[in-house]
Amino acid sequence: MPLDQKNTRLTFRKLCRQLAELASKPAPENIHRFRTSSRRAEVLVAELAQERTRNDKKLLKLLGRLRKKTGRVRDLDVEIAALRSLKIPQEPVRKSQLMRTLAEERGKREKKLVKALDKKTVSEVRKRLKRTAGTLEISKNTNPLAVAMQKVTELEFEQTAVSEETLHRFRVAGKRARYIAEMAGNNAEAARLVEQLNHMQDAIGDWHDWVQLAERAERLFGGAQDSALVAALRNVTRAKFRQAVNTLMETRATLVAKKPASVTTMGRRTPRERSAAAAAVA
């Protein structure tokens, strides 16, 4: 299943457009679209390219910085939405206080993001994106479906005792795998894989969002024994954890059963270089 070259070119064009939209208005939807598009571009450069030029490396660094800043705002948007959805009669004052804290923190993070999106930075990113789009070389033998499946199936873990660290690793790997699988284009098997990875990613991501919210509440109000709100949030995170673990086990079992005998080697990069590439899009 070869790579869809049309898809790769479209990825860079979309990211250029969404960068401009983000710079003009850092609204939640623009932040989310920029983050997903930047991850897709990073996967192409860091995971699938035969080799990376100096321009590519600088582009990855710039995108990484912006993605982290947008990520901090995005996390707060998700936490605010999660807190709004929590319906408990206890401690309405503390819930309102936590909501104000989140909103204030989001305002500060947005200001930092706007500052980082100055004209010089945006211009440089767009220039480097266009340059990379014109020079990027990916082997014609690259099978994005096989590579995507390997990203998830190669991770080892103790099946009888899945930890939070395990979920974090699969959360990161699942994102990269999904974006790689999307590069197969209009293919039924790739579409099924993307759907499975999306399902796993959503379950683990949902748990992660509630964990962050609960930890923030604990910093304000103390442990579950000190606050009914914190206790409720911890109950939710435990339920989300069990759901995430079950989804992970089901998804990985399905993918292992479909695992291909071999996966095309990624260009001429060494294992150390591939490891560094993976870290760039973590």
HEC sequence for 202-236:
HHHHHHHHHHHHHHHHHHHHCCCCCCHHHHHHHHH
pLDDT given at position 179: 92
pLDDT given at position 97: 97
CA-to-CA dists, residue 254 to 3, 145, 199, 248, angstroms:
23, 14, 13, 10
> Contact 128/66 with Cβ under 8 angstroms?
no
For the whole model, what pTM was predicted?
0.83
Sequence spans of domains, the chain = 1-139+266-276, 143-263
pLDDT given at position 84: 96
CA–CA dist 63, 160 (Å, integer): 38
Please list the ranges in the chain whose pLDDT falls under 70. Answer: 1-5, 258-282
CA–CA dist 138, 184 (Å, integer): 13
> Contact 100/83 with Cβ under 8 angstroms?
no
Tens digit of pLDDT for each residue in 163-196?
A: 999 999 999 999 999 999 988 877 888 899 999 9
pLDDT given at position 269: 43
pLDDT given at position 2: 57
Q: Count CA within 13 A, CB hemisphere, residue 47.
A: 30
CA–CA dist 128, 134 (Å, integer): 10
pLDDT given at position 270: 42
Domain boundaries 1-139+266-276, corresponding CATH code: 1.40.20.10
Tens digit of pLDDT for each residue in 20-36?
A: 999 999 999 999 999 99
Question: 230 CB contacts (<8 Å, ≥6 apart)?
Answer: 214, 217, 218, 221, 222, 223, 224
> Contact 54/18 with Cβ under 8 angstroms?
no
> Contact 149/259 with Cβ under 8 angstroms?
yes
